[in-house]
Amino acid sequence: MNRKYAPNIAEIEALANDTRMRLPPEFIEKALEVVIRVENLPNAVFLAEMEIEDPFELTAVYEGIPLAQKTTADQPQSPDTVFLFRRPILDEWASRGDVSLAELVALIIVQQLSHHFNWSKSDIAEIYKWWA
């Protein structure tokens, strides 16, 4: 990638959405129900909830009720959402140097969707094979 400027919020969001569409078919419909929001940095509430002081240490957060825990009695206040934080993602990408930005965003999205789908680490390893 030969660029003068770092990828913007819309470009990170496009990479995340592309990842959802490349999931195994049986997961796409439910994954599309999760809103993806990209922000430059996490806000103070997320940092406090995660007990993190440095905003560059938090690349993403899943906020919602995992599918396995949802009931018909649940009255959602807001849709399940994955928040991606652009600046920490770009910092991790630059410091790693061993993956493309698309690969890093895909890994982060799969990890965050694992909370929604209640995937174990072995489930993630199996599902993430589609990327290779």
Closest CA to 85 of 115, 55, 40, 44: 40
The one-digit pLDDT tens for each residue of the chain (132 residues) are 556 788 999 999 999 999 999 999 999 999 999 999 999 999 999 999 999 999 999 999 999 888 888 776 666 678 999 999 999 999 999 999 899 999 999 999 999 999 999 888 888 888 776 554
Domain ranges of the chain: 9-63+79-131
pLDDT of residue 106: 93
Q: Mark out the alpha helices in the chain (DSSP H runs).
A: 9-21, 25-31, 44-50, 86-96, 101-117, 121-127
pLDDT of residue 74: 66
Q: What would the CATH number be for the domain defined by 9-63+79-131?
A: 3.30.2010.20
